[in-house]
Amino acid sequence: MSTLVDRVRSRLAETGGEPTAAAVAAAIRAEAGGVVSDLDTLAALRTLRQEFTGAGPLDALLRDPRTTDVLVSGGAVWVDRGRGLERTAVSFADEASVRRLAQRLALTAGRRLDDASPCVDGWLADSGVRLHAVLAPVAADGTCLSLRVLRPAAHDLDTLTALGTVDAAGAALLRAVVAARLAVLVSGGTGSGKTTLLTALLSAADPAERIVTVEDAEELRPRHPHVVRLVARPANVEGAGGVALRELVRQALRMRPDRLVVGEVRGAEVCDLLAALNTGHDGGAGTVHANSPTEVPARIEALAALGGMAPATAHSQLAAAVQIVLHMSRRDGQRVLDGVGVLGRNDGRVVVEPAWTRTGGWTRGRDALGALFIARDQALPW
């Protein structure tokens, strides 16, 4: 069967045109010499269909509503359905089939993937999937394919409470943070639920406020009547037409936002975000990758350096721009609010003082957190 499929593939490549079902069936019968059963024809059609449409044999995994990641490496296929990576029974015929799939997906994303450009990072808008691929021999064990399923997060605080992400007291605290218009950074690792929590916070904002979100990939869909969403665009195969996140942050400032939100701070755009939050844009928010709340200042310092901002300036801007850090983590497969921290200064550098942790409850930073609410004429949420 594999030899027949290879011959049919070559015939279709030579003839060109749209590989419709009728054209593929005709090519199968021609290459089989006219003697082929209906079952063999259907099997070959099924194999070739995977070559031309969707994500091929990975489609079923990506359609599973529980799937967050699908990874292909060394011919093996792994899936994360929220409880860590599991090896699947899905397989590819050979390395060439993985390579063809990676190149076709890259083309769909408007990117180039070949021996001259063996790595690609792209966005499959139709399926809501972030693509990353590395071709062999750069990937020593064979082409690596990483697909992150980005489903729009539409939860509110009531939903997160029902799911166990936060308890009732935590939800009350988060509502108070939003009402006080405190600027927030949501930290955590990959897949920890940062975007989900940020969406819930925005859903709790005053309906009269105008929220402008800036994202690399469209994920934030808060339940709020006035949201303007800006999404970055990668360059095309010629390297033109890209719209960077940093440029969109600048554009958002001209759109009269009551709350400016950056879906994920991962580069030089942090400089523009900090500048914006220091010019009267209270209640702003963003997410950032960090292993703990206390590591957030160092992470911001490193990102600000990409924008040419000196460390001392970055710490000064951060201290004036952001008041609260909310840290998310995954515990036993569940995404939970793991800690709340308050930003302060020590010898000119920003430090995060823990105010609450999931395992220890209120800590020494509680008084500093309470002072923030009092300064905003808000009642203490405890």
**What is the phi/psi pair of residue 237, to 5°?**
-65, -20
- Quote the CA–CA distance of 80 and 68 in Å, as a whole number: 6
Q: Tell me, what's the pLDDT at 125?
A: 77
- Using a 10 angstrom Cβ sphere, with 0-12 exposed, 13-18 middle and 19 or more buried, the burial of residue 32 is middle
Same fold, 56-151 and 157-375: no
Q: In percent, how much of the chain has pLDDT > 90?
A: 54
Assess whether pLDDT exceeds 60 at residue 63. yes
Q: Tell me, what's the pLDDT at 87?
A: 95
User: How many Å is the Cα radius of gyration of the chain?
Assistant: 25
Residue written as token pair 């040419």? 308
Q: Which H or E run includes 362? A: strand 361-362
Mean pLDDT of 82-106: 90
Q: 247 in helix, strand or coil? A: helix
Q: Which fold, 56-151?
A: Beta-Lactamase (3.30.450)
Peptide bond into 297 cis (omega under 30): no
Which of 87-96, 199-208, 235-244 ranks highest by mean pLDDT? 199-208
Q: Tell me, what's the pLDDT at 121?
A: 86
Q: Tell me, what's the pLDDT at 236?
A: 72
308: which 2 tokens?
A: 């040419």
Q: Tell me, what's the pLDDT at 314?
A: 95
In tens, the pLDDT along 128-171 reads 888 999 999 999 999 999 999 877 666 899 999 998 999 998 99
In tens, the pLDDT along 18-56 reads 556 566 666 666 666 555 566 665 555 565 555 555 788
Q: Tell me, what's the pLDDT at 4?
A: 58
Indicate the pTM of the whole model.
0.79
Residue 95 Rama label (left phi>0; alpha psi -120 to 50; beta):
alpha
Q: Tell me, what's the pLDDT at 7?
A: 66
- Quote the CA–CA distance of 67 and 61 in Å, as a whole number: 7
Q: Tell me, what's the pLDDT at 138?
A: 96
- Quote the CA–CA distance of 297 and 352 in Å, as a whole number: 8
Which of 31-35, 56-60, 80-84, 353-357 ranks highest by mean pLDDT? 353-357
Task: Tell me how far the alpha carbon of residue 255 is from its chain's centroid.
Answer: 24
Q: Tell me, what's the pLDDT at 259?
A: 95
Handedness of CA 278, 170, 265, 259 (dihedral sign): negative
In tens, the pLDDT along 103-129 reads 989 988 888 899 999 999 888 877 888
Name the CATH code of domain 157-375 (choices 3.30.70.1090, 3.90.650.10, 3.40.50.300, 3.40.50.700): 3.40.50.300
- Quote the CA–CA distance of 71 and 163 in Å, as a whole number: 27
Assess whether pLDDT exceeds 70 at residue 313. yes
In tens, the pLDDT along 259-301 reads 999 988 889 989 988 988 887 788 999 999 999 999 999 999 9
What are the residue ranges spanned by the domains of the chain? 1-49, 56-151, 157-375
